[in-house]
Amino acid sequence: MSPDPRGLEDALVEIERRHLVRARRTIEAFARSEGATEVIVEGRRLINFCGNDYLGLARHPRVSAALRNGAAAWGVGSGASHLVTGHGVEHARLEEELAAFVGRERALLFSTGYMANLAAITTLVGRGDRVVLDRLSHASLIDAARLSGAHLRRFAHRDAGAARRLLAAERDDVSDAGASGRGRLIASDGVFSMDGDVAPVGELASLAAKSRAWLVIDDAHGLGVLGPSGRGTLEYLGGLSAEAVPVLVGTLGKAFGTFGAFVAGSRALIEVLVQRARSYIYTTALPQALAAATRVALRVSQEESWRRERVLALAERFRAAARERGIALSPSETPIQPILIGSPEGALRASRGLFEAGFWVAAIRPPTVPQGTARLRISFSAEHSDSQVDALAESLSRSLRGLDRSACDAEAGAR
């Protein structure tokens, strides 16, 4: 008997009823010859304020040229997994340079950050072990913990004390589950992708050391942006060592503008991942051309440090403009600046209002964020101009005032 397709249609109707439909918008062209802040979407010219190209490297001339030259030299695909015939000299050089950049013995390339987190967690823990995660950790960390078979608990956001209490309660919980609790792992984002705030990594590192637990930090949104040299959250927080944070995960498709990810750590850690990590062993390697482009992007991020200074200055400029207009802000010192709306419907309306005004700002709704915290996720690039940021703040203020008026009208109608 075939499945009833009406179940799928009913699911879509329910998603729409709750204002949670996810829709893709297609970029038809870039509206400027340089940079990537202005795009053509649905025939409309928009300023993009919801991407992750923080340093503006995705269309940097040197990075683009490296990709073209790499494709001419190595082709457009690797043709196999790293452990068969897919591992090339550009991969090897990039891994060495990434390890040196983050101060680790070795680094290992992956196609996506999702795969990197899956590799790290499922290799280090398994059935009978314990994983504790920040409640707002990225979905890939949550999925990795679940797939590992370990006993998963999530602690209140940025609350290292709550993480400590979960580990202290391990004996009772694990006994109930019939597991031995022999291994422990703590994991968190470095910079939280939907909130822009920074994890208390130092406190988590102290807890991990006392608990003899692995500590995994996914610094996808910190690397390249935070710290005097752009080495990310660990540098920003005072230079936490490789001993304090033994497993560091980073992505290449955000501040570095290309594609892929890596895990960095000790020689032994990386070698075990090579031998055991399923998301490394059983997948095609990144194209060497992308690795070549990323090597150049890494160099550019260091040579053009003004990009890091610029994007952080733009975020602060926006915060000042928002405060002047009475816009409530979250505690973020990063290029990610969320504006909490609350309801999915309200977030969609605010996003559409900005779209009509020429700004592309995504509405982020559950399940990406917790219920009641739907928001606009505004993010900045070094390629944005001061005038673009000022115009965004003004349009955002008008859009939010429109939401307030609509809410008052709805309340009056209900009475």
Task: Given the residues 148, 188, 193, 399, select the one marked as catalytic.
Answer: 193
Q: What is the arithmetic mean of pLDDT over 10-19?
A: 92
| pLDDT at residue 6 in the model | 83
Q: Does the annotation mark 210 as catalytic? A: no
- What are the pLDDT digits (tens) for 312-324? 999 999 999 999 9
Which domains, from first to last, does the chain contain?
A: 18-48+305-414 (3.90.1150.10), 61-303 (3.40.640.10)
- What are the pLDDT digits (tens) for 249-262? 999 999 999 999 99
Q: What is the arithmetic mean of pLDDT over 228-234?
A: 97
**CA angle centred on 100, ends 289 and 53, rounded to 5°:** 55
* CB-CB contact of 148 with 126 (8 Å): yes
Residue 189, number of CB atoms within 10 A of its CB: 27
- What are the pLDDT digits (tens) for 261-289? 999 999 999 999 999 999 999 999 999 99
Task: Given the residues 254, 279, 381, 395, select the one marked as catalytic.
Answer: 254
Which of 52, 65, 74 has the alpha carbon at shortest distance from 296? 65
Residue 177 has pLDDT above 90, yes or no: no
Q: Kindly report the pTM of this predicted structure.
A: 0.92
- Confidence class for position 181, pLDDT limits 50, 70, 90: very low
Task: Given the residues 82, 87, 138, 221, select the one marked as catalytic.
Answer: 221
- CA–CA separation, 249 vs 109, rounded Å? 10
Structure tokens given for 326: 């009475």
